[in-house]
Amino acid sequence: MTEKIQLGRYAENPHQMGWMEKDFSYKGPTVLNEPLHGSPLGYNNILDANAALEVLLDFKGGPGVVVIKHKNPCGLATGETLKQAFENAWLGDEVSAFGSIVGYSQKVTEDVVKLLMGKFVEVLVAPSYDKAALEWIQSKKAKKNLRVIQTGQLDNPGFIEAHEIRGGRISQEQDDTLYLCDTIDGLFGDPVELKEPNSGIEYRVGTVSDRKFEIGMQGLVEFSIMAGKHTKSNAIISAYEYEEGQYRVLGMGAGQPNRLDSAQKLSLPKARENLMRQYFREKGLNYEMTMDKMIQDGTYREDLIGEVNSYIASVLSSEKVVAFSDAFFPKRDGLDAIARMGVKYVICPGGSKADEEVIQAANEHGIAMVFTGIRHFRH
């Protein structure tokens, strides 16, 4: 049974009307529930909130937070606690996080929601909230327009994605496979040919480079694939193990017509910027003020330039950072761009006619590279 409801004053843009059809037979988590606080979600809010929900389902119950802007995870992190996960997700792109949708993988408590003080967020999405968290939100005048959505338990009953097009409708299964091998450890062994069950296509899966991944990188690799599959194509993600066993997106290159731009103009420059911000925080310096002074006065804090560049290079080249591509590299130029930024660990599906050229580039640059056998296009 479905019900068609008009969506607020307008849809994606003010000159467009919008409607929502709610399926009352669906029993899984949803963002179409009535808000616990604030007005009903609009068209764009629903799309972004649902994008947050799709990411939350991949956290498998552990503490995790995603910051969504235009259906892309501009911030995404795990943590020992939900509070730690939020703090690190927000660091992914503090500018883009303004006016975002924030998703939490576990019940939101008062100490977690208080981190929103001074931040403008449109919608919160979580399986549940405790009473104190809701009372804090309701008591804050600045949060009167914040919409709070309770999705219910984060189980995944299976879902068919559908798109209406002129003259018909197309649909597909969820993208719920990270790699073609049975376990992630298969990515770190010698490459083998595996047949993808649905298409029947054979893919090379495993470590294809001379250099190997370090022991203990499984969690970082799995996180990077998960983050990348939720990012619009062409996507290049740089992911970071910010402390042992905890991860965040360091830089996101999303929605570009080619993955070279996603890498060299978006993901990796953002990774460098975020590491620079991190270095300045550790030194007790304000990033914006320090950068402004450096631009105005070329001699200001000259000592910092060499220090920060050395710090960034040491982190990017370490086993704490990986780059993930949602599809194969059609030429070696994308890998060359990653190498110029100093990253030494790369994950991609493989399957290009230029695979041998790309593998040769990896070996020339001393890069460890694995092929997963699973593409993650997202349109």
Q: What mean pLDDT comes out for the span 217-224?
A: 98
Which of 345, 351, 341 is closest to 368 using CA atoms? 345
Write out the H or E segment, with its range, that includes residue 325: strand 321-325
Reported as a single tens digit per residue, the pLDDT across 271-320 is 999 999 999 999 999 989 888 888 887 777 778 888 999 999 999 999 99
Q: What mean pLDDT comes out for the span 63-76?
A: 97
pLDDT given for residue 299 in this prediction:
72
Reported as a single tens digit per residue, the pLDDT across 246-281 is 999 999 999 999 999 999 999 999 999 999 999 999
Q: Look at the pTM and tell me if it is higher than 0.75.
A: yes
Check if CATH label 3.40.140.20 holds for domain 2-160. Answer: yes
Q: What is the 3-state secondary structure (H, E, C) of 97-122?
A: CCCEEEEECCCECHHHHHHHCCCCEE
The domain spans of the chain are 2-160, 176-371
- Looking at per-residue confidence, does 164 or 52 come out higher? 52
Alpha-carbon gap, residue 20 to 1, rounded angstroms: 13
**Out of 3-17, 84-98, 126-140, 238-252, which region has the weakest mean confidence (pLDDT)?**
3-17
Cα-Cα-Cα-Cα dihedral of 54, 58, 64, 67, to 10°? -30
Determine contact, residues 151/123, Cβ cutoff 8 Å.
no
pLDDT given for residue 24 in this prediction:
85
pLDDT surpasses 80 at 2: no
Q: What mean pLDDT comes out for the span 107-118?
A: 96
The proportion of the chain whose per-residue pLDDT surpasses 70, expressed as a percent, equals: 99
Structure tokens that stand for 223 in this block: 């996180």
pLDDT given for residue 1 in this prediction:
62
Fold of 176-371: Cytidine Deaminase; domain 2 (3.40.140)
Task: Output the DSSP codes for 156-213.
Answer: ----EEEEEETTEEEEEE----S-SSSSGGGGGSS-EEEE-TTT--EEEEEE-SSS-P
Q: What mean pLDDT comes out for the span 40-49?
A: 95
pLDDT given for residue 158 in this prediction:
77
Q: What mean pLDDT comes out for the span 239-244?
A: 97
